[in-house]
């Protein structure tokens, strides 16, 4: 009945869109691959911007409102670009009772940012995690992808300083 319309082209020539296109194609343009596609976008670009949401929506033929709904429903997806460095403080139960709140306060005070925010110079993003599963090493933090276990406030801030300053 309906005529087959052409699939939309990626928003730009950026090579990273090829990865996104590949994911969309692998799932046969099915609407149920929305979350998988958003994962690929975030993996490739670091976050989901409006342009990406619009592209994915039209490629999968899902209403933009629904794409936005899914992107904001799940904590893993972020609509803001991250800073140069990221530190994630695990707030799981084991980390919580072993001093994670103190770690977070120390970082908040030192850099003047709250969880989910990035410093004004774009150097550091501070995030919290529900549980990174390294409970045996509580309190644990993730600094630029490396898990650091059994840390203390001083050690933690020093490590961040090294990243940000150096």
Partner 1 sequence: MNHERLLEIATAEKEAQAPFTQTINVCVAAGCLSSGSDKVKEALEKEVAAQGKKECCKVRGVGCMGLCAQGPLVEVKVKDKPQSVMYQNVTAEDAGEVVASVGTEKPVERLVCPTDVPFFTRQKKIVLENSGVIDPDRIEEYVLYDGYTGLLKVLTTMQRSEVIDCITRSGLRGRGGGGFPTGLKWATVAKGRGDRKYVICNADEGDPGAFMDRSVLESDPHRVLEGMAIAGYAVGAQQGYIYCRAEYPLAVKRLKTAIKQAEKNGLLGNNIFGTTFSFSIDIRLGAGAFVCGEETALIHSIQGQRGQPRPRPPFPAERGLWDKPTLINNVETFANVPPIIRNGAEWYAGIGTDKSKGTKVFALAGRIRNTGLIEVPMGITLREIVYDIGGGIPDDRKFKAVQTGGPSGGCIPEQYLDMQVDYDSLMKVGSIMGSGGMIIMDETSCMVDVAKFFMEFCKSESCGKCIPCRVGTSQMYDLLCRITDGRATLEDLVMLEEMCDLLKNTSLCGLGMTAPNPILTTLRYFRNEYTAHIEQKKCLAGVCSNKGALEEVAK
Residues that bind partner 1 (CB under 8 A): 30-36, 38-39, 62, 66, 69-70, 73-77, 91-94, 96-98, 129-138, 140, 146-149
Residues 6+ away with beta carbon under 8 Å from 142:
86, 87, 88, 90, 129, 132, 148
C-alpha distances (whole Å) from 4 to each of 1, 7, 24, 54 are: 9, 9, 17, 19
Give yes or no for a contact between 62 and 72, defined as CB atoms under 8 angstroms apart. Answer: no
Closest CB to partner 1 among 150 and 162? 150
Is the Cβ of residue 29 or residue 121 nearer to partner 1 in the bound state?
Answer: 29
What's the closest the beta carbon of residue 74 comes to partner 1, in angstroms? 3
141 three-class SS:
strand
CB of 93 to partner 1, least distance (A): 4
C-beta closer to partner 1: residue 74 or 162:
74
Nearer to partner 1, 73 or 154 (CB): 73
Residue 67 beta carbon to partner 1: minimum distance, rounded to whole angstroms? 10
Least Cβ distance, residue 16 to partner 1 (angstroms): 18
DSSP 104-127: HHHHHHHH---TTEE-TTS-EEEE
């Amino acid at each position: 009945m309906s005529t087959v319309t052409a699939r939309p082209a990626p928003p730009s020539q950026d090579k990273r869109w090829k990865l996104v296109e590949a994911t969309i194609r692998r799932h046969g343009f099915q609407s149920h691959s929305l979350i998988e596609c958003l994962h690929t976008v975030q993996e490739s670009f670091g976050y989901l911007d409006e342009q990406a949401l619009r592209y994915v929506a039209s490629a999968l033929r899902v209403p933009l409102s629904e794409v936005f709904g899914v992107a904001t429903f799940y904590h893993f997806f972020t609509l803001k670009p991250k800073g140069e460095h990221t530190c994630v403080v695990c707030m799981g139960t084991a980390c919580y009772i072993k001093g994670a709140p103190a770690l977070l306060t120390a970082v908040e005070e030192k850099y003047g940012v709250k969880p989910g925010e990035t410093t004004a110079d774009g150097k550091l993003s501070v995030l919290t995690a529900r549980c990174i599963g390294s409970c045996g090493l509580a309190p644990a933090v993730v600094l630029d992808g490396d898990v650091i276990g059994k840390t203390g406030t001083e050690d933690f801030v020093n490590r961040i300083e090294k990243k940000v300053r150096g």
